[in-house]
Every structure is written in structure tokens, then in C-alpha cells.
């Protein structure tokens, strides 16, 4: 019997509490906080979605090497061990690129980072299994997020790339019909370009990556997400970036969404993975777009009418009230 939809949540995300990031030489309180996901959990409690919430299954961390370099996974383990000894109050920060495999000073490694980051990835992998077993969609609300983690580097608050792991799992593991996916699309709707996801599949003709995000001259990361980045070798043409100006509202955003769905339809994937950020919501501290709660219902409707099984993965969004409102609206659209 086919699975029903599921929202994957684990209270263990509360244990991931990075203290600070360093911005322009200043220590500032870290914005990737447990309140982000707890706001979603509280909004779901008592709603029609409450019965769909379930915990993650366990997956061996060796699965991470399906999209990340084994040396990078070993690096994370090694620096988790070093954090208490050599870090700043238990948090290790990179010193120089590329030796330290860190894109910024906002993604510290502490003693428990690898364990908790992988647990977040397990939420996404569980969501993928729910869809492989027949559900039309599932939603992973784990943290820390993932789409900035590349083949061999962490950054942007991300350590393991959940969207990439889910897409690769569809390509590798059979569904309830006994078939693996031939092609998978990833739609990245965070305001920040998913440089890590692009990096992982840039030469692949089996994964189409489409991203709608802020222009790199004002939105993180500054080195990635340009319209001219279209893929390489076998993946030429399978990467589609749409960087948009600051102040973008629904009208312009919806046109970009139409273009992305047109490109994905041409690719004809069997599954869709969505990196859903709510930092596109008006007023987000790391934002710059002007989307509002009803717009996420429209996004949900577009996802539903695309007609492919979907795994949605929480990425950014740093105002708890907005992330909760956006999530509930997105769920309404999916329904």
C-alpha cells in the first residue's frame, strides 16, 4: 500500500546550537537557531498536518560519500575531535581556503557537529524513502541545512548536502516498483544560490539543477550562481540559474518560477527535490526579496501540479514567525 505524505522532524536538532559567526571582524550571535524549526513544529501542532509528523530513520554515514569526497567526511570528523582542544570556546573555525575546506566564518565545527549534521541529513533521506515507497510528497524540516555544502567543503551553515543526497538516493535505490530513477530535478528556492548542489552535479546529465536566488553581488555566496553557469561536459545545459535583483516581488518571481518549470518539464525528471528556503519572505535578515505568506501557497500549487513525486527540504529562513507562516502556506498549496 502506498505511503501517505509525511513531515520528518526530530527534536535532536535543538542540540545543534552554534554560538557565533564572524562577520567583518565582529563576533555576532549565530542566526541558524533551533527556534527556526521549533516555530514550524508549533505551527503544525493542532493543525491538519500534525498526524503526518514522524521521526527519521537511521542511515550509515558512509552514504555521505555518494556526493561528498571521503576525505571531506574524514576532515569533518577530525575537526570535530579537534574543536574542544583547538577551537574558540569549543568551536573550530577555518583559517585559510582551501586547506581548511570552509567557505566562511559562519559554519563552525564543534564536538557534536558531525553527528547532528548527519542526523539532519537522515531526516532528508527518510523523506526520500517515504516518497520511494509511494507518497506523492514529503517534507524534511531538519537543521542544520545543506545546500551550500559542496563536494569537499562546508559553508553557509551547511555540512552535508541534503538535496544532493536525496537526488542521488533516487538514482541509486529502487522505488516500490523496483525501478531506480533515470533523471531527477532539483529546484532551489532559497534566496542564496545552492553552490554546493551545483558543484556536486555540474557535470551530470542525470540531475537538472534550477535555482532562483538573489544576484551574487548582494546575496551569498558571491562566487556562484551566475546565469552563465550552465553545466559542463555531460551536464552541459543541465544547470539553470536565475539570479534576481534585490526587491523582487511575486510578479517577477512567478515568471522565474514559470521558466524553471518549463526547463524542468523539458528534462522530464521522474522525481523532484526542492531546496525550500523561507529567506525569500519579506523582512528576512538575510533576505532581499518581497514574498509573502500567500505566495508560498502558490509555490505549493505549482509543485503539486508538476505531477512528480516531491521531496521538500528546509534550507534557510531566519525569522521564526515568517518561516512558520511560509511553511503552513506551502503545505496548503501542496494539498
**Angle, nearest 10°, between helix axes 162-172 and 113-132?**
40
| CA distances in angstroms from 281 to 39, 68, 157, 160, 249, listed in the order given | 15, 31, 19, 25, 10
Residue 148 designated active-site: yes
Please, is 198 exposed, middle or buried when counting C-beta atoms within 10 Å of its C-beta (0-12, 13-18, 19+)?
A: buried
Residue 48 neighbours by CB under 8 Å, 6+ apart: none
Q: Which of 227, 207, 198 is nearest to 268 (CA)?
A: 207
| CA distances in angstroms from 60 to 63, 69, 71, 104, 126, listed in the order given | 6, 16, 17, 28, 12
Q: Which three cell numbers stand for residue 227?
A: 546565469
Q: Which three cell numbers stand for residue 22?
A: 564572524
| CA distances in angstroms from 297 to 41, 46, 120, 138, 292, listed in the order given | 18, 20, 25, 16, 10
| CA distances in angstroms from 284 to 190, 280, 290, listed in the order given | 12, 7, 9
Say how far apart CA 233 and CA 203 lie, in whole Å.
6
Q: Write the DSSP assignment of 77-110 as a string of letters.
A: HHHHHHHHHHSBTTBB---STTTT-BSSSS--B-
User: 209-235 burial, b for 16+ CB within 10 Å, e for fewer?
Assistant: bbbbbbbbeebbbeebbeeebebeeeb
Plot region of 267 (φ>0 → left; ψ -120 to 50 → alpha; else → beta): alpha
- Whether 122 and 172 have beta carbons less than 8 Å apart is answered as no
Q: Active-site residue among 147, 148, 192, 193?
A: 148
Which is it for strands 53-54 and 207-214: parallel, antiparallel or unpaired?
Answer: unpaired
Catalytic residue annotation: 148
Amino acid at each position: 500500500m502506498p505511503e501517505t505524505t509525511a513531515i520528518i522532524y526530530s527534536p535532536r536538532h535543538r542540540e545543534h546550537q552554534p554560538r557565533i559567526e564572524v562577520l567583518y571582524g565582529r563576533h555576532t550571535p549565530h542566526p541558524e537557531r533551533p527556534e527556526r524549526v521549533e516555530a514550524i513544529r508549533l505551527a503544525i501542532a493542532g493543525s491538519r498536518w500534525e498526524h503526518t509528523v514522524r521521526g527519521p530513520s537511521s542511515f550509515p554515514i558512509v552514504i555521505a560519500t555518494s556526493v561528498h569526497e571521503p576525505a571531506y567526511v574524514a576532515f569533518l570528523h577530525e575537526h570535530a575531535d579537534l574543536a574542544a582542544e583547538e577551537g574558540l570556546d569549543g568551536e573550530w573555525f577555518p583559517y585559510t581556503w582551501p586547506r581548511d575546506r570552509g567557505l566562511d566564518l559562519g559554519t563552525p565545527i564543534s564536538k557534536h557537529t558531525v553527528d547532528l549534521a548527519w542526523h539532519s541529513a537522515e531526516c532528508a533521506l527518510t523523506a526520500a524513502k517515504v516518497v520511494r515507497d509511494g507518497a506523492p510528497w514529503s517534507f524534511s524540516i531538519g537543521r542544520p541545512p545543506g545546500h551550500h555544502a559542496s563536494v569537499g567543503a562546508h559553508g553557509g551553515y551547511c555540512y552535508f548536502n541534503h538535496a544532493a543526497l536525496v537526488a542521488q538516493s533516487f538514482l541509486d535505490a529502487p522505488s516500490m516498483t523496483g525501478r531506480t530513477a533515470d533523471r531527477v530535478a532539483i529546484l532551489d528556492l532559497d534566496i542564496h544560490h545552492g553552490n554546493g548542489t551545483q558543484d556536486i552535479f555540474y557535470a551530470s546529465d542525470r540531475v537538472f539543477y534550477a535555482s532562483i536566488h538573489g544576484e551574487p553581488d548582494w546575496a551569498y555566496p558571491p562566487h556562484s550562481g551566475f546565469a552563465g553557469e550552465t553545466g559542463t561536459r555531460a551536464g552541459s545545459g543541465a544547470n539553470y540559474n536565475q539570479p534576481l535583483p534585490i526587491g523582487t516581488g511575486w510578479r517577477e518571481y512567478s515568471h522565474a518560477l514559470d521558466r524553471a518549470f518549463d526547463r524542468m518539464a523539458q528534462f522530464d525528471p521522474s522525481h523532484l527535490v526542492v531546496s525550500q528556503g523561507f529567506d525569500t519572505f519579506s523582512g528576512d535578515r538575510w533576505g532581499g526579496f518581497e514574498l509573502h505568506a500567500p505566495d508560498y501557497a502558490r509555490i505549493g500549487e505549482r509543485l503539486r501540479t508538476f505531477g512528480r513525486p516531491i521531496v521538500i527540504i528546509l534550507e534557510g529562513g531566519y525569522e521564526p514567525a515568517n518561516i512558520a507562516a511560509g511553511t503552513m502556506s506551502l503545505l496548503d498549496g501542496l494539498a
